[in-house]
Amino acid sequence: MSNVLVLVDHSAGTVRKTTAELLTIARRLGEPVAVFIGDGVQDALPALGQYGATKVIALTNPDLSQYLVAPKAEALQQVAAKIEPSAILISSNAEGKEIAARLAVKLDSGLITDAVDVQAGPVTTQSVFAGNFTVQSKITHGTPIITVKPNAATPEAAETSPEVEEFDVTISDAAKTARITDSKPREATGRPELTEAAIIVSGGRGTGGDFGPIEAFADSLGAAVGASRAAVDSGWYPHAYQVGQTGKTVSPQLYVAAGISGAIQHRAGMQTSKTIVAVNKDPEAPIFELVDFGVVGDLHKVLPTATEEVTKRKS
């Protein structure tokens, strides 16, 4: 069976859910070989084994953590030259997409970004033009390099006991032109990461600036909080949580839009959500055109009632 490289997305050895999704997808295509960059590979091993990595290639060269993206692309090129994978899967975040693009140039290979599904072939599914078209694509040249959006697959466990292989890479001076001088993790909110969350509750101008009901409902569901641009531009919620064309693109299992009208620029960032629910006091609000369930009402009344009901049913 052919090897499929999966670039592990992690934070100091804590493997993100997106990696479990990539490993699940990789098993449809061949044998998943995880590539782990940085410190903490031993901490990551149980999670990588849980989702079927047959081998873990550890890259610990300090240049990989001290500089921006270019060294990681060079390192993956060297791993690919040795392993000769049949495909390479990378998480579709800003860094992942830049690594993938650089790697595609180096390997003279085709690249597909933002896949929402990958099946044997590999044949990918993408949602394009603000979600108005669904496209299936296949790479026809070189090693298929695919970046996969969060929530593209439900992680399925397949226990393995992968061995760790240390792999030496050589990083060129040309790849060391942008050095990281400082890095601070964002203050943890205790909520899931917006782009990876299975459930998102977003608030808009209709909140009137009070995100309390949004956060309380999100917490009852274990969800992330998002916001429309109108809400973040008003200073009601940090810009990092903006969903839409000029914010984050999300694709959760469930997206709840409360007090959001459904402007095209907002839709562009959430239209591929599996189930969409809106709470809006205006029955004519455009958001109702794309919802699976809609509640016409005041979010300040609807959300606290929903929160109470969810909390009651959980206990």
Length of the chain: 315
Residue 141 annotated in ligand binding: no
CB nearer ligand FAD, residue 7 or residue 223: 223
* Min separation Cβ 186 and ligand FAD, Å: 19
- A 10 A CB-CB count for 7 gives 25
CB 112 within 8 A of CB 145: yes
CB nearer ligand FAD, residue 206 or residue 252: 206
* Min separation Cβ 201 and ligand FAD, Å: 13
Residue 244 annotated in ligand binding: yes
What 3-state DSSP class applies to 93?
Answer: coil
Question: Distance (Å, rounded) from C-alpha 283 to C-alpha 10?
Answer: 43
First-to-last alpha carbon distance for the chain, in angstroms, is 47
Residue 243 annotated in ligand binding: yes
* Min separation Cβ 220 and ligand FAD, Å: 18
CB nearer ligand FAD, residue 189 or residue 265: 265
* Min separation Cβ 251 and ligand FAD, Å: 15
CB nearer ligand FAD, residue 59 or residue 230: 230
Q: 190: which residues sit within 8 A by CB, 6+ positions away? A: none
* Min separation Cβ 229 and ligand FAD, Å: 3
CB nearer ligand FAD, residue 5 or residue 243: 243
Q: How many C-alpha atoms does 304 have within 13 Å on its Cβ side?
A: 8
CB nearer ligand FAD, residue 28 or residue 205: 205
Question: Distance (Å, rounded) from C-alpha 92 to C-alpha 99?
Answer: 10
Amino acid present at 249:
T
* Min separation Cβ 191 and ligand FAD, Å: 19
- A 10 A CB-CB count for 1 gives 9
Residue 136 annotated in ligand binding: no
Residue 265 annotated in ligand binding: yes
The tokens describing 90, both together, are 């990378």
Q: 188: which residues sit within 8 A by CB, 6+ positions away? A: none
Residue 280 annotated in ligand binding: yes
* Min separation Cβ 151 and ligand FAD, Å: 19
Residue 266 annotated in ligand binding: yes
DSSP structure class, residue 180: -
Residue 246 annotated in ligand binding: yes
Question: Distance (Å, rounded) from C-alpha 2 to C-alpha 20?
Answer: 19
103's torsion region: left (phi>0), alpha (psi -120 to 50) or beta? Answer: alpha
Residue 313 annotated in ligand binding: no
Which residues would be at the binding site for ligand FAD (CB under 6 A)?
204-206, 228-231, 242-247, 259-261, 263, 265-266, 269, 279-282, 285, 298-300
Question: 14-15 and 87-91 as β-strands: parallel, antiparallel, unpaired?
Answer: unpaired
Question: Distance (Å, rounded) from C-alpha 270 to C-alpha 287?
Answer: 11
Q: Which element (helix H / strand E) includes 119?
A: strand 111-119
CB nearer ligand FAD, residue 128 or residue 178: 128
Residue ranges at the known binding site for FAD: 205, 228-229, 242-246, 259-266, 280
Q: Which residues are annotated as a binding site?
A: 205, 228-229, 242-246, 259-266, 280
